[in-house]
Amino acid sequence: MAPEKPWLKKLTRMTDTQMWEAFDDMLNYSISLQHKKMEQSHEPIDIYRAQGFIQALKQLKYLKEEIQNATR
């Protein structure tokens, strides 16, 4: 069983359609910047960092479902 995450209930207002769309747009924009950084990087460490950043941003895209599941 996953540990309880009490902060998720406090984030419920964030799942409002307009607010979530703005947040999702910001995530998509940040992901696209990291893709550009990866394309322009010559050093493997910079590519790995951008990949890690993209992974973290993509995990945030699932936050809405996690919040909704916690408030059911």
Predicted TM-score of the model (pTM): 0.85
Q: How far apart are CA 18 and CA 35, in angstroms?
A: 26
Q: How many CA atoms lie within 13 A of 6 on its CB side?
A: 0
Contacts of 9 (CB under 8 A, 6+ apart): 67, 70, 71
What was the pLDDT predicted at 1?
45
List pLDDT tens digits, range 4-50.
888 898 999 999 999 999 999 999 999 999 999 999 999 999 999 99
Q: With cut-offs at 50, 70 and 90, classify the pLDDT of residue 2.
A: low
Q: How many CA atoms lie within 13 A of 18 on its CB side?
A: 0
